[in-house]
């Protein structure tokens, strides 16, 4: 079963044709966009929950810096 790619022949060993395809870059950018949105949501939730567990803002910042 062959799944033709817009970048070229599916049996070709030319990996650069696939690596430079706009479809692949669009998919990769989509993944990074999802990661970015999840990061923002996580940071907001952690900052909102910190006072409820008696965690100072300074420790929250230190935890994010250590995690980064």
Q: How far apart are the first and last CA of the chain?
A: 43
Let me know: does 34 contact 41? Beta carbons within 8 Å: no
Q: Give the largest CA-CA distance in the chain.
A: 59
What are the extents of the domains in the chain?
Answer: 15-67
What pLDDT, in 10s, does the model give residues 8-43?
666 777 788 778 889 999 999 999 999 999 999 999
pTM of the complete model: 0.66
Question: Do 21 and 7 meet the contact criterion of CB atoms below 8 Å apart?
Answer: yes
Q: What is the pLDDT of residue 8?
A: 60
Q: Cα Rg for the chain, rounded, in angstroms?
A: 21
């Amino acid at each position: 079963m062959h799944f033709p790619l817009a970048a070229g022949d599916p049996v070709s060993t030319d990996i650069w044709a696939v690596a430079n395809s706009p479809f692949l870059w669009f998919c990769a950018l989509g993944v990074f966009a999802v990661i970015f949105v999840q990061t923002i949501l996580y940071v907001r939730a952690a900052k909102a929950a910190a006072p409820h567990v008696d965690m100072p803002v300074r420790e929250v910042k230190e935890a994010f810096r250590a995690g980064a």
